[in-house]
Amino acid sequence: MAYTISEAARLMSVSPSTIRYYDKEGLLPEVKRQNGIRMFDEVDFGWLRLLMCLKKTGMPIKRIKEYVELSKKGDATLLERYELIRAQRQFVQDQIEQLEYYMEELDFKDWYYRKALEIGSEKAIDYNEYEQETGHKKP
């Protein structure tokens, strides 16, 4: 089944202009046209999902273009594409670890203010309680 750009945008929860931009930048190598109208099929949706994933994980358009160009060359570029994906995966993993670190700090502050409100003062907070209650050390 083929979809117009508006239908594809709705199904992918993006604006038609986003898809037009990706197409203009050459990031949708297989998009077919009927009478000048872009028609999207399942292969194109696969590309759109990947493009949105890479973009949302912080990969610059220049690197995404590099990935698409390598893909067009087929199996000869498998290692290069794999390395691009592994690097992006590591970038995301590093972000997750950083966010987990920040979450620990926020968890502590959540506990801290709940305790202060419970007691009615910050001065009487016993930090050892944090470790006892949560099993975590104070950040």
Instruction: Check residue 99 and give its pLDDT.
Output: 97
Instruction: Check residue 50 and give its pLDDT.
Output: 95
Instruction: Check residue 137 and give its pLDDT.
Output: 85
Q: Would you say 2 and 40 are in contact if contact means Cβ atoms under 8 Å apart?
A: yes
Q: Would you say 3 and 42 are in contact if contact means Cβ atoms under 8 Å apart?
A: no
Instruction: Check residue 40 and give its pLDDT.
Output: 93
Give per-10-residue mean pLDDT for the chain (139 aa).
92 94 89 89 92 95 96 97 98 97 95 94 89 86
Measured distance CA(132)–CA(137) in Å, rounded: 9
Instruction: Check residue 1 and give its pLDDT.
Output: 85
The domain 1-72 is classified under which CATH number: 3.90.1300.10, 3.40.50.2300, 1.10.3470.10, 1.10.1660.10? Answer: 1.10.1660.10
DSSP string over 28-74? -TT-EEETTEEEB-HHHHHHHHHHHHHHHTT--HHHHHHHHHHHHTG
